[in-house]
Amino acid sequence: MLKRCRVLSSLAIGVVLLFAHSSEAMIVRLAAGASHTVAIKSDGTLWAWGLNMSGQLGDGTTTNRVVPVPVGGSATWTAVAAGASHTVAIRSDGTLWAWGLNMSGQLGDGTTTNRAFPVSIGGSETWTAVAAGASHTVAIRSDGTLWAWGLNMSGQLGDGTTADKALPEQIGSNTNWRSVAAGGGHTVAVRSDGSLWAWGLNDSGEVGDGTTANIAVPTQIGVSIPWSFIAAGSDHSAAIRTDETLWTWGSNVDEQLGDGLTANTTIPGQIGNSVNWRAIAAGSDHSAAIATDGTLWAWGLNLSGQVGDGTTTSRSSPVQVGTGFALPPEVVFTVPPAGSTNAAAGTTIQTTFSQAMDAATINASTFTVSGGVPGAVAYDGSTNIATFTPSTPLAPATAYTATITTGVADASGNSLPADFTWTFTTAQASSATSGGGGGGGHCFIATAAYGSYLDPHVRVLRDFRDRYLMTNTPGRYLVRTYYRYSPPIAHSIEGNRVLKALVRSILTPLVYGLKRPIAALFFLLLSAGAIIFRKRERCGPGP
């Protein structure tokens, strides 16, 4: 069975694991297949070595190499993934290339012919992430769509079938996929909202949905807490949440889950509670992870010394095997998601970092929004989330680019490796808010009274408008009328402190009533009862 490909040494897709300490270009990306290794240096060149029986090194031969050889000539590369006997990589221009074994169509060139040199996949389309399983490949395009091809015996492509595919096929219609990992016969992926999804072979519980039935379509795994890093082994999975906790599930016969046991688990279970985790990789039957302090840990099968602790004794829980593996910070997901086309005009813009950051480096100079949008920047160290709050609502139906610069640094002083940018588009304004008065949906009078469109009181009124007025014809008529006549009134309120206080005194009880209708109703009934009681007292007893 496919998942029994125990020769897989690692499927650490696209994770930075090694940093050279010489004056030469250092290795910045590394991927290992069953018996071959590929790496990208800091100058963008691609190198490979090891078994080459199927052309998986990509040097145009089938000769094994015991030292690294260059691949792809003068081309520069940004990402690489290695399957059992095939390799897939992304060039700096975003194009996708593949080579090696192609028996199941895992290269994606429309054939089942092995290739000993890189061949272009998907034409001129641009790609942002790629993962290689034992005999299948999964990748994410720059528009956030997910594509898969190759062996599909267990539904690992996620297209709802078990038929192999020799060309990339889009999986679902979602456009918010952020990262992906491919195992022996299953696939794990994270969307830009931080949700975790998995599908494919599941007889050891490696999908993580609480069953052992194969799943042929993406299925959400775990609770809604956002996930940042993922890895897929031969028949187990591992992931790190944004709170830096580590979770594993699937086969545990070789102690690869790290929970101190040997029983399989079908749902994610937390590992190494006392350590904060930064990166994770899963091999055939062992796992390795880097902690936020730069220490390296490993566990699982160790017959060949793959744990790296100086023994050949398997380890059922994480053991420290090295230091000095600190990784630079990354942006792991964003709000609004990259490529989104319906962001609310009143949205706040957020980024979640992979590790604790130096709050002093996150400010209006290092976190910006295109068009000179003014706003306040804040960082929450408990969640590693930086928030940009626009001073005024964003314009409707407008594309914005948010940027996090290399000026931000983590708590240890490590800077973001490169500027991080993402683009999103605000939703089209409705006719109710775009007609007479403009303002992109402002609650003009409330905004003038409280001083900010983002004030909590104004938000309650906006929510009431959107939920109860904009959903019916009479309500929409009231909103249109309000937007026609309210701007002059709001302008008068802005320059008059007495009017501001008066309007607030009227709106604040109203907002309280909208937030707590039951309590407000009780208060009104109690007040009415008190008034009636006092009136009856004044009138005295009846005749």
The CA distance from 124 to 99, in Å, is: 17
C-alpha dihedral sign at 469, 474, 478, 483: positive
Q: Retrieve residue 106's tokens.
A: 């895992």
Phi-psi category of 55—alpha, beta or left, where left has phi over 0 and alpha has psi -120 to 50? Answer: left
Ranges of beta strands (E only) in 33-76 are 36-41, 46-50, 65-71
The CA distance from 381 to 244, in Å, is: 12
The residue count for the chain:
543
The CA distance from 271 to 245, in Å, is: 8
The CA distance from 74 to 80, in Å, is: 16
Q: What confidence score (pLDDT) does residue 440 get?
A: 36
CB 292 within 8 A of CB 381: no
Q: What confidence score (pLDDT) does residue 48 get?
A: 97
Sequence-distant (≥ 6) Cβ neighbours of residue 184 within 8 angstroms: 2, 3, 4, 5, 8, 133, 134, 201, 232, 233, 234, 235, 284
With vertex at residue 256, the alpha carbon angle to CA 291 and CA 99, rounded to the nearest 5 degrees, is 85
Q: Retrieve residue 343's tokens.
A: 């962001």
CB 207 within 8 A of CB 200: yes
| CA-based end-to-end distance of the chain | 97
Question: What's the alpha-carbon Rg for the chain, to the nearest Å?
Answer: 28
Q: Retrieve residue 362's tokens.
A: 């996150």
Q: What confidence score (pLDDT) does residue 138 get?
A: 98
The CA distance from 39 to 400, in Å, is: 35
Per-residue pLDDT of the chain (543 residues; tens, 9 = 90+): 444 444 344 333 333 333 333 335 678 789 999 999 999 998 899 999 999 999 999 999 999 999 999 999 888 998 999 999 999 999 988 899 999 999 999 999 999 999 999 999 998 888 989 999 999 999 999 888 999 999 999 999 999 999 999 999 999 999 889 899 999 999 999 998 889 999 999 999 999 999 999 999 999 998 766 898 999 999 999 999 988 899 999 999 999 999 999 999 999 999 977 778 989 999 999 999 999 888 999 999 999 999 999 999 999 999 999 988 888 888 877 888 777 777 777 788 988 888 889 999 999 999 999 989 999 999 988 778 899 999 888 888 899 999 999 999 998 888 988 888 888 888 876 443 333 333 334 566 777 777 665 567 777 787 777 667 766 777 767 776 776 666 667 767 766 788 888 888 888 888 777 777 676 566 666 666 666 666 666 655 554
How many helices and strands, by DSSP H and E, does the chain display?
6, 31
Phi-psi category of 28—alpha, beta or left, where left has phi over 0 and alpha has psi -120 to 50? Answer: alpha
Orientation angle between helical segments 497-515 and 456-464, nearest 10 degrees: 60
CB 89 within 8 A of CB 97: yes
CB 304 within 8 A of CB 312: yes
Q: What is the residue whose two structure tokens read 């300490």?
A: 21
Distance of CA 425 to the CA centre of its chain: 18
Q: What is the residue whose two structure tokens read 């983590």?
A: 410
Q: What is the residue whose two structure tokens read 């023994």?
A: 311
Q: Give the CA-trace dihedral at 179, 181, 182, 184, to 10 degrees.
A: -160
What are the structural domains of the chain?
2-322 (2.130.10.30), 331-425 (2.60.40.1220), 433-524 (no CATH)
Ranges of beta strands (E only) in 366-450 are 367-369, 375-380, 385-390, 399-404, 420-425
The CA distance from 444 to 394, in Å, is: 15
C-alpha dihedral sign at 422, 427, 433, 438: positive
- Secondary structure of 186-255 in HEC code, one letter for each residue: EEEEEECCCCEEEEECCCCCCCCCCCCCCEEEEEEECCCCCEEEEEECCCEEEEEECCCCEEEEECCCCC
Q: Is 367 exposed, middle or buried (0-12, 13-18, 19+ CB in 10 A)?
A: buried
CA-wise closest residue to 29 among 444, 303, 458, 417: 417
The CA distance from 424 to 341, in Å, is: 6
CB 460 within 8 A of CB 514: yes
